[in-house]
């Protein structure tokens, strides 16, 4: 993802998106460069109109009308029957014979 960000930064700065420039941006961010990823990105962007790609990706979001919040269902708290100490001891004695 860092490499895509580097390419977008270069595009925004009106700089050519080349292997050297992408590598420089990645190094400037404090990361190590993976040359295979740089080459793959630059070759993938060959002939791509980035402005058109950005416009196609940025779809307008229609405003969602505000709806009344649904009433929270009241959950009845069911009391769990906790065994008494005598019942627990009886249960344990069954384990040991």
Q: How far apart are the C-alpha atoms of 26 and 83, rounded to whole Å?
A: 63
Instruction: Report, as an integer, the average pLDDT of 53-57.
Output: 85
For residues 65-80, give the mean pLDDT: 62
Q: How confident is the model at residue 88, as a pLDDT?
A: 64
Q: Residue range 16-38: average pLDDT?
A: 95
DSSP for 7-57, written as a single string = HHHHHHTT----HHHHHHHHHHTT----HHHHHHHHHHTTT--HHHHHHHH
Average model confidence (pLDDT) for the chain? 80
Long-range contacts, stretch 32-37, CB < 8 angstroms, 24+ apart:
37/3
Q: What pLDDT does 68 receive? A: 60
Which structural domains are found in the chain, ordered by start?
2-57 (1.10.10.1410)
pLDDT above 70 (res 16): yes
Say what the pLDDT of residue 22 is.
Answer: 95
């Amino acid at each position: 993802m860092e490499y895509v960000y580097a390419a977008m930064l270069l595009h925004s700065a009106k700089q050519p998106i080349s292997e050297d420039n992408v590598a420089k941006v990645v190094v400037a961010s404090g990361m190590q460069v993976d040359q295979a990823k740089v080459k793959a990105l630059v070759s993938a962007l060959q002939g791509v109109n980035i402005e058109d790609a950005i416009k196609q990706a940025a779809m307008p979001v229609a405003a969602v009308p505000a709806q009344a919040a649904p009433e929270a269902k009241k959950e009845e708290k069911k009391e769990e029957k906790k065994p008494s100490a005598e019942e627990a001891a009886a249960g344990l004695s069954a384990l040991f014979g």
